[in-house]
């Protein structure tokens, strides 16, 4: 299967007249259509809600698009809570899932009316202390330990994960919370990342539904919501088949009926906290080929680097590349496509077969809509790029300007040492 850019070469040439490369760009039409599909797939559950994982793409313009699509937000820090606040998310439209959480962040989440999802039993006292009392609605993060396996092999290793409580700890925590006035309870789990299989959510949901039955029996508590968190991935390579969200929804519904309904447990809301699935394929990093080098390998140097997209350098993640205007040409040349950092892992592609690339060509790096710009940093004094939005009418909107040297030096504003550049 061929991966096709959502931008043409002519469109990029038009954009760079105003916004020089590199930049990240997002496809508004694709984002909205994907949100519709997700909501349709889980429409059988009247309480269903997607809580977009802000960490994936922390941009208020993107968050507002998803808000219009009926999504809430999943936040994991004070800054993400503040983003949710300025976008107008309130109360139960915010899920706060964090770990090793500073006490003031719990307080701010509570002030917004967010659902607090506790990562550890010891945090009960922590939240009660800072909030005066426990909120009426609380959630707990579940970690079954061991290895999470599926029919297609090992998926992840919860036993080594720092997140969540043991099942027995959650039982104890819910009994404590109940005694302290908590009325509404939820459970949450994230056991595998970036799965490209329709089996993950149904298997996870069945395990959580069975745990909800145990909670009712042992605590006399009715679980009000079950949060399947994230983990639905995207096909980064052309060979991978994408998830079928409708089949996933049907699989979760089957487990819901066979476990919850069969045990007389009704009206449990299903939540999701998707980031990569919601945004990944609907973002791209566009960069220009500015150098070529012929030594022991053939190198193409581009004006983007790992500052703009860290995933390949950090853990060898694959991102498909298209040379704009040459999408239909044969991939007959082997290149390393590299950035300018003083690190040898600053490579977007290694030994990648591509059409012949010449200086001035524009390279479209696919699937950067989630955990792309968000993971950027400033090593070597490199500055973060702009973020653009391809609107449904085809126009381009700036949704984050590129950083400047003044931004980079801004934390020296207590001193006059860099006044030359701060003015």
Catalytic residues: 342
The answer to whether 77 touches 58, Cβ cutoff 8 Å, is no
3-state secondary structure at position 207:
helix
- Residue of 133, 131, 197, 139 whose CA lies nearest to 164: 139
Nearest-5° Cα angle at 265, 256 to 253: 15
The answer to whether 383 touches 406, Cβ cutoff 8 Å, is no
**Per the omega criterion (within 30 degrees of 0), is the bond before 22 cis?**
yes
Alpha carbon separation from 417 to 71, 326, 405, 410 (Å, rounded): 46, 48, 14, 12
- Residue of 164, 197, 178 whose CA lies nearest to 98: 164
Tell me the C-alpha distance between 185 and 165, whole Å: 15
- Residue of 281, 282, 352, 342 whose CA lies nearest to 316: 352
């Amino acid at each position: 299967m061929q991966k096709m850019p959502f931008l043409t070469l002519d469109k990029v040439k038009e954009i760079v007249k105003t916004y020089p490369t590199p930049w990240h760009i997002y496809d508004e039409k694709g984002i909205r259509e994907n949100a519709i599909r997700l909501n349709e797939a889980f429409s059988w559950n009247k309480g269903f809600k997607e809580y977009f994982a802000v960490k994936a793409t922390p941009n208020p313009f993107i968050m507002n698009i998803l808000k219009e699509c009926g999504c809430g937000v999943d936040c994991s820090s004070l800054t993400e809570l503040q983003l949710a606040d300025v976008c107008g998310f309130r109360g139960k439209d915010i899920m706060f899932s964090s770990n090793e959480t500073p006490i003031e962040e719990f307080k701010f989440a509570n002030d917004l009316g967010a659902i607090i999802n506790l990562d550890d039993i010891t945090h009960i006292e922590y939240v009660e202390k800072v909030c005066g009392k426990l909120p009426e609605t609380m959630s707990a993060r579940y970690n079954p330990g061991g290895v999470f396996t599926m029919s297609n092999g090992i998926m992840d290793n919860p036993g080594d994960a720092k997140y969540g409580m043991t099942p027995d700890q959650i039982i104890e925590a819910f009994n404590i919370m109940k005694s302290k006035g908590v009325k509404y309870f939820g459970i949450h789990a994230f056991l595998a990342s970036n799965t490209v299989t329709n089996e993950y959510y149904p298997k996870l949901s069945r395990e959580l539904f069975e745990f909800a039955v145990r909670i009712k029996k042992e605590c006399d508590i009715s679980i009000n919501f079950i949060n399947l968190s994230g983990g639905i991935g995207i096909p980064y390579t052309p060979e991978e088949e994408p998830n079928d969200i409708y089949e996933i929804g049907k699989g979760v519904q089957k487990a819901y009926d066979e476990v919850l309904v069969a045990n007389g447990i009704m009206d449990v809301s299903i939540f999701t906290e998707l980031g990569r699935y919601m945004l990944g394929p609907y973002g791209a990093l566009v960069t220009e080929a500015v150098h070529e080098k012929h030594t022991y390998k053939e190198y193409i140097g581009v004006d983007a680097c790992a500052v703009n997209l860290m995933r390949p350098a950090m853990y060898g993640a694959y991102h498909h590349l298209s040379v704009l205007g040459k999408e239909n040409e044969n991939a007959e040349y082997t290149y390393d496509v590299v950035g300018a950092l003083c690190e040898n892992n600053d490579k977007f592609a290694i030994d990648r077969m591509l059409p012949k690339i010449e200086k001035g060509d524009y390279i479209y790096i696919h699937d950067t809509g989630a955990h792309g710009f968000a993971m950027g940093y400033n090593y070597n004094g490199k500055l973060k790029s702009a973020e653009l939005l391809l609107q449904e009418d085809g126009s381009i909107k700036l949704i984050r300007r590129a950083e400047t040297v003044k931004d980079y030096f801004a934390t020296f504003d207590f001193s006059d040492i860099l006044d030359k550049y701060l003015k």
